[in-house]
Each structure stands twice: as C-alpha cells, then as structure tokens.
Amino acid sequence: MSVSPLFPALANPGEQPALRFGDRSLTYAELGAAADALAARCAGAGRVAVWATNSLETAVAVVAVLRAGLAAVPLNPKSGEKELGHILDDSAPTLILAAPGDELPSPLRHLERVDVEVRGVGGEGPAVSPGDEDPALVVYTSGTTGPPKGAVIPRRAIAATLDALADAWQWTGDDVLVHGLPLFHVHGLVLGILGPLRRGGSVRHLGRFSTEGVARELNDGATMLFGVPTMYHRIAETLPDDPELAKSLGRARLLVSGSAALPVHDHQRITSATGRRVIERYGMTETLMNTSVRADGEPRAGTVGVPLPGVDLRLVEEDGTPLPVYDGESVGEIQVRGPNLFTEYLNRPDATAAAFTADGWFRTGDMAVRDPDGYVRIVGRKATDLIKSGGYKIGAGEIENALLEHPGVREAAVTGEPDPDLGERVVAWIVPTDPQSPPALAELADHVANRLAPHKRPRVVHYLSALPRNDMGKILKRALTDG
C-alpha cells in the first residue's frame, strides 16, 4: 500500500522558505532540486548512512533518502569508534552522505561516500512509490544494557506522528520553527526538520543553542520554539537579567519541551517572566510521539498531556494487569499502541518480541500516574526511577521537582539504593546553588516531606559539581549509581 507523500509541499515547490541554518537557506524549490538530484545518486542503494551534523547538508540528505524511498541511518558525530563500528556492522549501509569537507572517522572510510550538494540540480528523482510500512529511518537507541539497538521507523509512523502533532498544536504552514537540537535524534530530526517540511512551513536551526539566537529568531517572526529541559533551564536562569529575552518569548505562539521532564520550577519561572506556558510532550525513539499538552488544552505544569489522536495508552501493574482506576496517584508502566510505533529492532527478533505484549502493546519502561481526565505525569524509568520503599512505589521525578524548589538546589537527581529495613531508600544527588554552603540532608528531607509525604523524603544526599547528562540533556543515572 502506498502512502501520500511525506512532503506535499515538494510536489509543486515554490519560493517559500523551507530551511535556514545560520546565513544559509533553501526555498522549497531549491530543496526539491537538491534533494531529487541527491536521491537520483542514491537510487538502488539499500540503507543509507547520514553523517548527522547540525547542518543544511544533513536536512537535505535525509529528505533525499526519503524521496528515494530508502531508509536513512543518522549517525551521531560524537559517537566513539566502537559504537560507530557496531552501528555500521548492524545496519550495513551501502553509502555515507556527508557535507563536503567533513572528515569522517576511520570506521566510515570503507563506505562509498557521496558529498551533499545543497545547490544540486539535475533530473527528477527516482520514480518510487514506497509503502506505508517501508522503513524510513533506522535510529539507534542509547544502549544502557548493551550495544545500541536500531529502531526501524516506517514512513507510516512519521506521517502519523507529525499529523497528530499538527492536530494537537494547531501546527500549520504559516508556522516558523526555531530550535538548536541535534539532528541524529528523533526530536531534532523528525519533529524539528521533517515536521515543518510536512506542514509546508519553515525551520530555522540555530546550529548551537543560545538564548541570544532564540531571541533573535522569535523577534524576526519565528512562531514556535522546540527545546530540551537544559535549554529551558538556561532560559529560566537568564530571564531575570534579560527583559528582551522575556519579550521575545512572549511573542511565540508555542514553546515545546521534550526528551526529558521539565522541572516545575522552571515552568513557573518562564511563565512568570513571559506570560507564556511551556507545553510538554512525551515520546521515545520506538514510538515517536505518544502524548502532548494540546495548544487549546490546559497547560498543566509537570504533565505531558493526553494521548495524541490515534494513540492508545494504558498504565499496567508489574504483572501486566491494567490499573483499574486513574486517580493521579497510582503508579504504573506506560504501554502504548498505534500507527506511531516502530516495526522492529533491526536484526533483533528477540528484543522486538520482548518489547511487545501478546496483544500488541509496546512496553515503554516509563512509569507514570494518570489523572481521571486523562492527563499523564511521568515519574521516571522503570529501571532507574521507580523506588520501592517501605511498601510504597515512589517515582523519582516528583522528588526531583520538590528538591528543585529549594533555593539551595541548582540541579537534582534521585535514585534508590538497597536498604535492609525499607527495601530501598531514597538517595538525592544535588548540585548546590552555593557549593561552599550546601543544604543539609535534614533540611532537604523536611523540605520534601512537607511538600509530598514523609515516606518520599531523601535519606542520603550526595553533593556534586555537575550531573552527568547525554547529548539530549537527560541525566545519566547509571553513571551516578555505577560510579
């Protein structure tokens, strides 16, 4: 079965702006010419690797691969040689697309290289009619318990997710998106590049995130900002001394945060200074997007909103039994199903089978509570953020939010560790506001107990100069507990 084109605006492209990276830009007509010329060079290839720098070339390369009906394998330029070697062995691409002048590491040098010309011209791209289940991307998940696995994302999932987000966010071709997200990940690539192109709108990529760049683009007509919590935290920290930044954010139609939970304290600081509320959504590599606060819905800080159109979501007990009632307190694992899901882990039928229930629900490994009206609040990962203490199931996320409300806490992470009496005890990892005078354990414990409940108070505290994070800003909790 064929699907409608992923990018309708490229069917009869005009001179409306499509992509801008710094002072380099392409109209839809220019993007169509460049992508089709490159697609013709990729014709007949199998999977195609893309050296996914934050550049115009990366965007053109991925569009070209999709126009050719092939699957792109975006490579993180910061990956080490061992990880790159594994990804290449696993995905077996026949080509590597890269910007002219990019120096590629040794594991890639045996591949046939095609330089991406963003001013490409030539004949029409290959005449292909890919089906809705045909692979579009193979995106490698960060391997916490082994080497990364390649999630095969079909064209159907990209179209379904982007159209569901258009419904939730009232996203149209009139919107201009600004962001500085990496393009090897679904957040920056699928939402941040393919999203605007599917709507017929435009995207301005900052190259590297900066509050100055955000303010400049919002003042120059951008309507939407995508970011991760570390970016919004920098915005929140800058706002008190930068009234111009507050004014520019106030002009945005939509501020969206994802890839990790945005602390409630940062929500409040941004709203207080700008009058705008940050919308959160929830997704992962294997599912693309599952839920979001809607543009026309209640922007409830600390939640990721409601399931997107077409997405089924449920919370289950440890034995897989669905929670009988959603009361805003009971913690369960999120399971989802819908057209937004991946098809398989490449070459891993065992892992694919283990990821799904017998009746087709995907086990996300994320723990959440759900309000009676359907709003979902993530409390953490099943493996690292669910703490079983004294007979209670405690989500690390709500304790982290409470700790961040303490004026002496700049950053916070919460884990569990074995306790002979409680089963597990709550452990806080703190970056203090003043390293010379960090808040004491008793003070932090009382602070949490007064806001949440006594059984959720930390019983151990560690002080750090910084929390370990990955490229998307997520805290690497295994680095804390394994260290």
Q: What is the pLDDT of residue 265?
A: 86
Dihedrals phi, psi of 56, to nearest 5 degrees? -60, -35
Domain ranges for the chain: 8-169, 209-276, 386-482
Among residues 125, 53, 133, the alpha carbon closest in space to that of 96 is found at: 53
Sign of CA dihedral 372, 233, 187, 145: negative
Report the alpha-carbon distance of residue 408 to residue 466 in Å, rounded.
Answer: 14
Report the alpha-carbon distance of residue 143 to residue 76 in Å, rounded.
Answer: 14
Burial of residue 462 (number of CB atoms within 10 Å: 0-12, 13-18, 19+): middle
* DSSP bridge partners of 289: 283
Fold match, 209-276 / 386-482:
no
Assigned CATH for 386-482:
3.30.300.30
- CATH 3.40.50.12780 holds for 8-169: yes
Q: Name the one residue in this structure whose structure tokens are 């900066």.
A: 210
DSSP 355-391: HB-TTS-EEEEEEEEE-TTS-EEEEEETTTTEEEETT
Give the pLDDT confidence of 315-364 residue by residue, as tens digits: 999 889 999 889 888 889 999 999 999 999 999 999 999 999 999 999 99
Assigned CATH for 209-276:
3.40.50
Give the pLDDT confidence of 36-78 residue by residue, as tens digits: 999 999 988 889 999 999 999 999 999 999 999 999 999 999 8
- Tens place of pLDDT for every residue, the chain, 483 residues? 344 689 999 988 989 999 999 999 999 999 999 999 999 999 888 899 999 999 999 999 999 999 999 999 999 998 888 889 999 999 999 999 999 999 999 999 889 999 999 987 766 666 678 899 999 999 998 655 567 899 999 999 999 999 999 999 999 999 999 999 999 999 999 999 999 999 999 999 999 999 999 999 999 999 999 998 889 989 999 999 999 999 999 999 999 998 877 888 899 999 999 999 999 999 999 999 999 999 999 888 889 999 999 999 999 998 899 998 898 888 899 999 999 999 999 999 999 999 999 999 999 999 899 999 999 998 877 766 777 776 667 778 778 888 988 999 998 989 888 877 777 889 999 999 999 999 999 999 999 888 887 888 899 999 999 998 876 677 888 788 776
The three-state secondary structure class of 108 is helix
